[in-house]
Structure 1
Amino acid sequence: MSDDRTGTRSEAAIEETMLRLVAERGPGKTICPSEVARALAGPNPDQWSPLMQPVRRIAVRLTKAGRLAILRKGKPADPDDFRGIYRLSLPEA
């Protein structure tokens, strides 16, 4: 395990994986943040679960940059103020 505080993966790897997965899913479709963590760390929750906070942090940064959308109940969420279950998608054109 690495010491970068994102478990075993770098922030660049999380960002690349997140953007790739939403692009593969396509416009109007969403992914679960845990899909990003699982893609990087495998199916064992002990390995992917520690990536969930870094995934959230990077999703917020990418949303603020206009490269991603955070959705709650199917609607865009404020990246500075959202709680609970969320999904990720490509931003609306």
Structure 2
Amino acid sequence: MFDFIGCILDTYLDIKHWFNTKRRRKYEKENNLPKSIVWHPLTKPLFIFFIIIIPVIFLFSFFIFKNENQRKTTKRMLEISKLLESEKKQFGKFPSALKRDY
């Protein structure tokens, strides 16, 4: 139901915008004025929304993914140390060279 009402209101705003644009263009043509920008009614709220949301997303991602590489490195080092310890237990010595197997 809310979608239907929203669709009706959106269509009403579009039609109202078209009439305002047509009226404005006619006025500009009659008075030899340059064409001005006629903004759609949803332009201003969307612009404000993007101005707010972009810094929020940037800050959120900055603080969440700040230490991601350090965590990955630490995790990989722990895996390598576990593998080295298991090889030490199995063969009695550490390997002379580490080989990449990925």
State the TM-score, normalizing by the size of structure 1: 0.25
Structure with the largest fraction of strand: 1
Structure number with greater CO (CA < 8 Å, separation at least 6) is 1
State the TM-score, normalizing by the size of structure 2: 0.23
